[in-house]
Amino acid sequence: MGQIRVLDQNMINMIAAGEVIERPASVVKELVENSIDAGATKITVTVEDGGRKLISITDNGCGMDADDLAQAFEPHTTSKIKASSDLLGISTLGFRGEALASIASIAQVRVVSRTKDSTGANCVEIDCGNKSGLSPCSADYGTTIQVRDIFYKLPARRKFLKTANTEMGHITEQFTRIALANENLDLTLIRNGKELYRLSDKDDLRRRITELFPMSSSDISENLIEAESGEKGLHVHTLMGKPLISRTNNRFQYVFLNGRFIRDKFISHAIKEAYRGLLEPGRFPVVFLFIKMRFEDYDVNVHPTKIEVRFYNSNLVHSQILGALREKLLGTNLEMPGRLPEMQYGESTLRHSPPVRDHRIADAMAEFFRKHRPVQMQQQLGFRPSAPGKVHAVSREKTAQYDKKYLQIHDSFIVAQTEDGFVIIDQHALHERIIYEDLCRRIRKNKLQSQRLLIPESFEVTVSGAEALKTNAELTDKLGIELVPFGPRTMAVQAFPTLLSGVQPLDFIQDLIDLLDRKEAGLDAERLLDEVLNMAACKAAIKAGQKLTESEIEQLLADRQNAESASRCPHGRPTTIKFSIGDLEKQFKRT
Ligand code: ADP
Ligand code: MG
C-alpha cells in the first residue's frame, strides 16, 4: 500500500505557519499590518512575557462583520486581492491570506470585531485550529485579536523561543519599523502592564526617532541630514546620520518602500557607496530611507514575510538613491565636533557630594576663575582686555607668532584658528584627501600627466604579477605609468605620473601589483581605479611626523578650503576636529 497521504488542513496551516510565524514578533508584525490595512488610525499592542503568554492587538479599523469573521481564519482567505492581475500592483501590506490561519493553528486565539455601522460585535475563539462558533458580544468598533500561549502544542517550536527579554527585543524592533513607516498613526506598546511607547500621530519623524531610540536619541536625532529627490516616478526622502554617529552594524538602516520595511541588497549597496570615503571600514551609517514608487514597478510576492521585493528597474533605484544621498552628503559640512575634556578640578570629590553642594562648589570655583584668571592670562599671553563676550584680540608686538593663526604640533597636527573657534587637522589625512580629489578630477578628464625617468627603473615580476599588469594595461596607462618588458621576468618603469613625483616608482608599482592581484576578482573598473587612487594619495601625502614649512602649512590650509569633502580622508577617517569658541567659553565658565 502506498505511503503518501494528503495532509489535513490543520497540518498544512501549521507548516505554513513555520514560514510566516517564526516567533512572537512575527505575530505582532502580521496583526499590526492587518490593522493598518483595515484603515486603523490608532493601534495598541499589549505583550506579556515577551509575547509567549499573550499578544493582544486592538485597532479602530474597519472591523469585520459576522461573515468575514467566520471566514478570516480559513486558509488562503483575503479581502485584498481578487484576481491574479491584482498581484501586479499590491497596495496593501498583506495579500497572501495566510497570516490569520497560520497564527490560529499554533496558539489560542480570541477575536472580537465590529464594523463601524453595526450595533454589536462578534467574537470567535480558535484553539490551535479548532474554531468555536461565532457569538455576539459588545465592543467598540474595530478589532481586537488576542493570541495566547504561542506554539504550546508544538514543543519543538516553543523550545526555540528565547528569553522573554530577547523576544521582547524582536517585538520592539517590529514595532519600531511600523512606527517609523507610519508617522500618522497613534501607536502604543504595553509590556507586562507598563507602557513602553506611546507615539502620537501629531509627532513628526524626528520626534518619533527621538522617542523610539531613547538611549541614543540625542546623538541620533541631532545628527541627521535630510534629503529629498523625486525623478522618474521614484520619490526618495531620507534622514541620514552624519558619519560621527556611525555604528558597528547595519541595524540602524531602515529602508521603507511605500510604507513597508524592506531589506534589499541594491539599496544597501547604494547607501554604502553614498558614504564611501566618509566612513572608516567596518562602520555602518545610520539611515532612515523612505521610498515611494508605483506599486506596479516592483513585486512583493517574493518572500513569505514580504521583507524582500523585486524591483523591475533596480538600476534606476540604485542610481537615484545613491545620487540623492551622495550629493547631500558631499554638500554638507561633516567636520567632527571636538569633545572638550571634563574639567579636572575636584571632580572625584564632587561626584560623591550631594547635588546642592556640587553646585555651590562649582559656582565658587567659577567665581574664583572669573576674578583671578583673566588678569594673569593677559599678562602671560599678551591678551589685550576687550569687551566681555567678544573674542580676545591678539597683541601684535608681543606675539607675532600667533598672527599666523596656525601652529604645527608634534610635526603631525595643525591647529588653526577659524571664524568661530579653532580646528585641529591631521596633516596626513587632510593632504591625502586633497591629493585624492586632485587625482580624481584630473583622471576624469584625461590620463594623468607623466614624466620620463632619466634612467628606467627595472624590477622583477612574478608570472601572476606580470599577468595582472597586462590585464590592467588600460589602468596603468591612465595613471601615466609606462612599463616595458626588460627580460623574461623583469620589467622597467619608463615614465611615472608627475603628481606622484615624491613617491618611489618601484615601491608604488609593487603595491599596485599586490592590489591588482588581490582585487582581480569582482571589482569593477571604477572601484579598482578608486582604490588605486586612494593608495596613490596615501603614498604621496605628507606623513605624520614631517615638519612643515610655513608656506606648506598655508598651502594645505588653502587647499582645504577648495576640497570637496575635506572633513574625511579617502578611507573615511576624520581629517579635522573642530572646537567652537562657545564650547571654550562654557568650559572656562565665561558664560
Ligand atoms: P491578508 O492580510 O494577507 O489578507 P490575513 O490572514 O492576515 O491575510 O487576514 C485575512 C483577512 O482578514 C484580511 O484580508 C482582512 O480582510 C481580514 N482582517 C484581518 N485582520 C483584520 C483587522 N484587524 N481588521 C479588519 N479586517 C481584518
Ligand atoms: Mg495580513
> Of 322 and 521, which is predicted with more confidence?
322
Question: Which residue's C-alpha comes closest to atom 23 of ligand 1?
Answer: 35
Distance 341 CA to ligand 1 centre (A): 56
Helix (H) or strand (E) holding 554: helix 550-562
Query: Is residue 59 in contact with ligand 1, taking CB distance under 6 Å?
Result: yes
**Residues whose CB falls within 8 Å of the CB of residue 147, separated by 6 or more in sequence, listed in order:** 27, 31, 54, 55, 56, 103, 107, 108, 109
142 Cα nearest atom in ligand 1: 24
Q: With 0-12 CB in 10 A as exposed, 13-18 as middle and 19+ as buried, what is 119?
A: exposed
Beta bridge partners of residue 146, listed in sequence order: 56, 110
d(CA 189, CA 57): 10
Strand ranges, E, within 360-514: 406-409, 413-418, 421-426, 450-460, 482-487, 490-497
Distance 580 CA to ligand 2 centre (A): 53
Beta bridge partners of residue 451, listed in sequence order: 496
Ligand nearest to the CA of 79: 1
pLDDT tens sequence across 92-138: 999 989 899 999 999 999 999 999 999 999 999 999 999 998 999 99
pLDDT tens sequence across 143-163: 999 999 999 988 888 888 999
Hey, what's the cell of 288? Answer: 532612515
Distance 78 CA to ligand 1 centre (A): 6
Distance 70 CA to ligand 2 centre (A): 16
pLDDT tens sequence across 159-211: 889 999 999 999 999 999 999 999 999 999 999 999 999 999 998 999 999 88
Chain-centroid distance of CA 242 in Å reads 9
96 Cα nearest atom in ligand 1: 3
**Residues whose CB falls within 8 Å of the CB of residue 155, separated by 6 or more in sequence, listed in order:** none
* CB-based contact 334:568 (threshold 8 Å): yes
> Of 316 and 591, which is predicted with more confidence?
316
Cα–Cα distances (Å) from 533 to 142, 457, 487, 496, 524, in that order, read 61, 22, 29, 14, 14
This prediction's pTM: 0.73
Mutate to test the pocket of ligand 1, among 36, 78, 112, 303 (most ligand atoms within 8 A of CB): 78
Distance 34 CA to ligand 1 centre (A): 5
pLDDT at 349: 38
Question: Which residue's C-alpha comes closest to atom 25 of ligand 1?
Answer: 63
34 Cα nearest atom in ligand 1: 20
d(CA 474, CA 478): 6
pLDDT tens sequence across 304-338: 888 999 999 999 999 999 999 999 998 888 877 77
* CB-based contact 149:50 (threshold 8 Å): no
Which among 293, 295, 314 has a CA at the least distance from the CA of 92? 295
Q: For cell 573642530, what's the residue?
A: 578
Question: Which residue's C-alpha comes closest to atom 7 of ligand 1?
Answer: 99
d(CA 587, CA 579): 11
Question: Which residue's C-alpha comes closest to atom 17 of ligand 1?
Answer: 72
61 Cα nearest atom in ligand 1: 24
Ligand nearest to the CA of 111: 1
Which among 111, 151, 197, 165 has a CA at the least distance from the CA of 21? 151
Q: What percent of the chain has pLDDT over 90?
A: 52
What average pLDDT does this structure show over 261-287?
A: 91
Query: Is residue 421 in contact with ligand 1, taking CB distance under 6 Å?
Result: no
What average pLDDT does this structure show over 395-408?
A: 57
* CB-based contact 49:55 (threshold 8 Å): no
d(CA 321, CA 327): 10
Count of CA atoms in the C-beta half-sphere (13 A) of 363: 6
CA dihedral 45, 51, 55, 57 (to 10 degrees): 20
Query: Is residue 69 in contact with ligand 1, taking CB distance under 6 Å?
Result: no
Question: Which residue's C-alpha comes closest to atom 18 of ligand 1?
Answer: 34
For the chain, counts of helices (H) and of strands (E):
19, 24
Distance 74 CA to ligand 2 centre (A): 13
| Per-residue pLDDT band at 399 (split at 50, 70, 90) | very low
d(CA 349, CA 361): 10
92 Cα nearest atom in ligand 1: 2
* CB-based contact 423:561 (threshold 8 Å): no
d(CA 60, CA 36): 10
Distance 109 CA to ligand 2 centre (A): 15
Ligand nearest to the CA of 33: 2
Query: Is residue 21 in contact with ligand 1, taking CB distance under 6 Å?
Result: no
pLDDT at 234: 94
Query: Is residue 115 in contact with ligand 1, taking CB distance under 6 Å?
Result: no
Distance 81 CA to ligand 1 centre (A): 11
Strand ranges, E, within 317-446: 336-337, 406-409, 413-418, 421-426
* CB-based contact 556:431 (threshold 8 Å): yes
33 Cα nearest atom in ligand 1: 2
Distance 105 CA to ligand 1 centre (A): 16
Q: What are phi and psi of 85, to 5 degrees?
A: -65, -25
35 Cα nearest atom in ligand 1: 23
Query: Is residue 34 in contact with ligand 1, taking CB distance under 6 Å?
Result: yes
d(CA 106, CA 2): 30
Question: Left if phi > 0, otherwise alpha if psi is -120 to 50, otherwise beta: which for 346?
Answer: left
d(CA 541, CA 520): 26
